A = this chain, B = another copy of it.
Amino acid sequence: MTIQHSATACLARAPLFSSLDLETLISLVPASKHRQLFPRGSFIKQPFDNNDGMFVLDQGSAKVYSVSDTGKEKILYMMKPGDITGQETLFSVRKTDYFIEALEDSYVCSVSHRAFQQLLQKSPALCLKLLNTFGDKLVAVEQNSIRRDTLLAKDRVLSYLKDKLDSSTSSTFQLPVKKKELASFLGLSPETLSRQLKALQKDGEITVSGRNITFTTPRY
């Protein structure tokens, strides 16, 4: 039985858990749900769910967002395989009035908070790793918040794309979500995003083809 097919595989594939030894992983199995399928468009989590778990996205993609009274949707995170969510409610009870929606057919594992807390007590290494995960998330949200409030639409888009470029091996990469959703993430209307991408093309900065972005003049 290889790790790929074992009940622990899903957890082991998440960076947060990847350094745990097999025995520890196995100890988590009874407290976890294994690779549930969430079809595209279904909710992995809704506000007021009995949210007693941490979610690990094993396969697929998802968006984490909040909806205002007026119906406006704001995307906070876009999840890719290996990403984790639900840490916010690990310790204190917090209102987490956001949705997690599968953007494609996705597989999700979850670990109960209780089990995870117990594991944290025993494993300082895991705690440090989670601290790191939090730190990354915090920096990402701060970054987006700064971008939102200090840059005009065009530069905001460019700034986002450059970040993507930095974490890509080639000068071409794919947007992780539909443009409509990217717009929400960047605090723009879809129309404005479309226009700004066009403007950036006219400036000769990028080439856009569907979800594929190519930087014409790699900076640095």
Contacts and interface: CB of A to CB of B under 8 A. Distances in A.
Interface string A113-134: 0000000110010011011101
A150 B90 contact: no
Copies in the complex: 2
A109 B135 CA distance: 21
B91 A132 contact: yes
Contacts of A128: 91, 120-121, 127
A52 interface: no
Interface majority SS on A: helix, strand, loop or mixed? helix
Contacts of A142: 76, 141
Interface stretch (A67-75, A99-107, A173-181): A67-75
B91 A150 contact: no
A119 to B, nearest CB: 11
Contacts of A130: 131
Contacts of A184: 149
A144 B145 contact: yes
A19 interface: no
Contacts of A131: 90-91, 120, 127, 130-131, 134
A66 interface: yes
Interface string A134-157: 111111011011101111000000
A132 B66 CA distance: 22
6 smallest beta-carbon distances between A and B, as pairs: A68-B150, A134-B134, A127-B127, A72-B150, A74-B149, A149-B187
